[in-house]
Structure 1
Amino acid sequence: MHLQVMYRAAAVLTALTVLTFAPQAQSLPPPAKTVFKCEENGKVIYSDSPCLGAKTVDVEPPRGVSRLSGQERVGSAVQQERLREHIADAMRPLTGMNPKQYETFGRRQKLPADTQRECQRLDGRIPLVEAEERQASGEALVDIQLRLLGLRKRFRELAC
């Protein structure tokens, strides 16, 4: 019951945030914060698309430029992102979610319910298969990497 109240409060605040910032929103998708490091024909390639045997690299896009004078210059997109983080921090006692979790929750609210459930399932499954990959070797490693590639592609297709 308590969890339902938290999700409802988060959904209401997310809706308010979306309505507030929708007119300024860009038509581009949010930048991918997970980058895959792939090796193809002996060359290392970094991509936002998964590949067989990919290693994940978490990246955070830069958030403004500081001048030599020490003043920080940030655009409206960064200001809005910071505001959403402050809202998420303020809602944390109700939702129990950190800003990153809250942003994911808000983004997934636009998805159909069955897609949201599949994203949650993948959230739990991908780290388990990644752990299996770290432990495996030989032929078992290839099988696990194929399974992991399928999960990552599905995660991307669903726009989780």
Structure 2
Amino acid sequence: MPDTSEGEVEIRPMRDADIEPAMDLLETWNMAPQTGNTDAERSTIRVDNSFVAEDSGAVVGVASYIVHSETLGETASLAVDPDYRGQGIGYRLQVRRLEAMASLGIETVRTETDRPETIEWYVEHFGYERVGTTPKKHEFSLSDVEEWTILELDLAAWEPSD
């Protein structure tokens, strides 16, 4: 595990220079947007709707969101470098993007995930509710899981739990 004792990992808005390392990190988890493929699970990452975790100049985490309407948002592309897992970076990235969506007036946040441990993490730490499933469009994230679990969060009532 990296030694972060000299400085805390910084959570900050994404910059254009962060796109390539963020895409590389997302590829580690088979979650990189497929640029130019509008039928893909994700076809782009928007710098203005994304945050990164940075440690000594290196991108070690990324989290994005999508605005669907004035009141509906969706999380996208949360990934943390495997060497940095267990340090609360994913939690901090999630809080940052929820705060950003709340500041825009988003009231409901949808999240789709296929990892059982991630589903439990969203439910336990953020108060999401399971609301259904939807088929995947193509292999993305876990290759042996063919559907997403759809979660929803009442962002208007949300308060950080940790």
Which TM-score bucket, shorter chain as reference?
under 0.3
Structure-1-length-normalised TM-score:
0.26
Structure number with bigger Rg: 1
TM-score (norm 2): 0.26
Structure richer in helix, relative to its length: 1
Higher strand share: 2
